Every structure is written in structure tokens, then in C-alpha cells.
Amino acid sequence: MMLVIAVFALGLGTFAFRVAGPVLRARVELSPRVEKLMMTGVAVLFAALVATATLI
Amino acid sequence: LDSELARDIALVCLACGFVGASFGAITVGSGLPVWLPMLMSVVVFAGAAQFMFVAIIASGGSLIAAVATGLIVNTRLVPLGFAVGDVHGRGLARLGNYVMTDESAAFTLSQKAPENRRAVFWTCSIGLFVCWNIGTVIGALGGRFISDTDAFGLDAAFPAVLLALLLPSLDNGPTRRAAAAGVVIALATSPFLPAGVPVLLALVGVLASLGGDKVARKRVTS
């Protein structure tokens, strides 16, 4: 039973993270500058993900 | 969707199915109940967090530690969801981001036109969801013959796909500098921080993209 609750806790938290992104985006005015920074941020995120997944 | 893109997405979905089977088999093989991997693949639907959750519980760790670790690993979904947020409508339509993954975000961001982004997002996300869950069921029930996809190198397929999708965005100096800085930060902090945090911390590397244009201009003029 505790295991089921734990799975749903992780699932709910993960769901909240996934939905938070689009919700935040609707609240932020995306200037071309911010948009460029965001795309740089995503490239950094993927680069770090690839590096840690393959090297760590 | 052009055929080349559709083929790439299909291959990623296929690999995802195999890794899902490995997840199901490993979970059941380590003595956990058969329903656990199936429930997780529907409710959580995040590979890295699922593997870690199971690894912690199977090695006798606490449920709280397992949940916390899974959540930390998944924090990266916030910035990724932000970046692909434009494929969703308003209000409750945003709940559809439930099916976003690293791979579907990467494929989506490789497209420019809004209708292409939407098509790629939904094709890839739903394809991955279906394959991941079918794979999990097969692995959990069919058990022992597929225990570890590391042996097939399938786990390496996902970083490889992300890298391929990342490369076009590294076409300019500032982004390359930011990515390099981020990689250094993530690798240097990995030994000391829980999994997932180094990747978020890597975002500090974005600072390396700022002010770089001036340097580049100076170099051109000198």
C-alpha cells in the first residue's frame, strides 16, 4: 500500500513539473532576447544530459 | 511529417520499447511486485526516474528517498516544458504535457513551424508512451530473457538521439560556449550532488553565452 502511495507521489510531482513549464510560459512575456536565452538554456540542458548519461 | 523524421521517431519509439521491457524485467527480477513497473510506466512515465526509484527500493532504501530522488531527476522537465509550451493551447489543454519526454521535447524543438511542432510533439510523445508501456508489460510478464539492455547498448541510444538533435543548435559561438560550460559544471558537480541536480545546475552555463558577441566582434576587427 505504501508502495502505491509512493508511486502516485512521484507521478503527481512529475506531472506537476511537466505542466508547470507551459503554465509559466503563458505568464512570461517572451521577448526575442528571452526566447534566445531559453533556446540556449535548452541546448545546455541537453548537452549536460548527454554528458552525464554517457560519462558518469 | 516528412518520412525521414517519421522514421527517426519510430526508431526512438522502438528503442524505448526495449528499454521499457528491460525496466519491467529488472524490476520484477529484483523481487518487486509485477504490478509495480506497469503502474509506474503509466503514472510516472519518466525512464531515468523510474529506474532510480526501483534501484533505491530494491537495495533496501526508504520510499521517501526513492520518491525524492525521482522528483529531483525530473526537475529538468520544468524548463523543457517551458520550451515546448507553445504546442499546447490554453487552460486545461496544457495538461497534455503529461506525455512530454526529453526525446519528444528535443524532436519538437528541432522544428520551426508551429503546425510541425505540434505534429512532432504528439506523434513522438504518444508513440513513446505506448511503446514504453507495451515494453514494460512484456518485460514484467515475460521476465528473465531480457534482463539488461546495457548489454545491447540500447541505453546509449537515447543520449545519441539527444546529441543528434542538439547538434544543429550548436551552430553559433555563444551557444557552444554555454553548452561547454554547462557540461563542465554538470560533470564537475556530479560526484557531489544527487542525480538530476547537476543537469539543472548546468543552466548556469547560459551565462557563458552572454556578452560573447562583443568578444567575437573584437576578434573580427583586430
Say if residues B70 and B53 touch (Cβ distance below 8 Å): yes
> Higher confidence at residue B12 or residue B143?
B12
Q: Which long-range contacts (CB under 8 A, 24 or more apart) does B40-45 make?
A: B40/A7, B40/A10, B40/A11, B40/B136, B41/B132, B41/B133, B41/B136, B42/B133, B43/A7, B43/A8, B43/A10, B43/A11, B44/A7, B44/A10, B44/A11, B44/A14, B44/B70, B45/A11, B45/A14, B45/B98, B45/B99, B45/B101, B45/B129, B45/B132
Q: Select, from the ranges A1-15, A20-34, B208-222, the one with the highest average predicted confidence (pLDDT).
A: A1-15
Residue B143 predicted with pLDDT over 80 = no
Instruction: Tell me how far apart the alpha carbons of residues A46 and A44 are, in angstroms, rounded to a whole number.
Output: 6
Q: Where are the alpha helices (DSSP H) in chain A?
A: 2-27, 32-55
Query: Do B80 and A26 count as a contact with CB atoms less than 8 A apart?
Result: no
How much is the CA Rg of chain A, to the nearest whole Å? 16
Asked whether the predicted pLDDT for residue B137 surpasses 80, the reply is yes
Which site among B23, B57, B62, B78 would you substitute to test the A interface, given the most A Cβ atoms closer than 10 Å to its Cβ?
B78
Task: Note the pTM of the prediction, 2 decimals.
Answer: 0.87
- Summarize the confidence of residues B86-100 as an average pLDDT: 94
Taking CA atoms, B33 is separated from B20, B99, B136, in Å, by: 16, 25, 13
Which chain A residue lies closest to B101 (C-alpha atoms)? Answer: A18
Residue-level pLDDT at B53? 94
CB contact under 8 A, B190 and A56: yes
- Chain B residues within an 8 Å CB radius of A52: 186-187, 190, 195, 198-199
Q: Give pLDDT, residue B213.
A: 57
State ipTM: 0.91
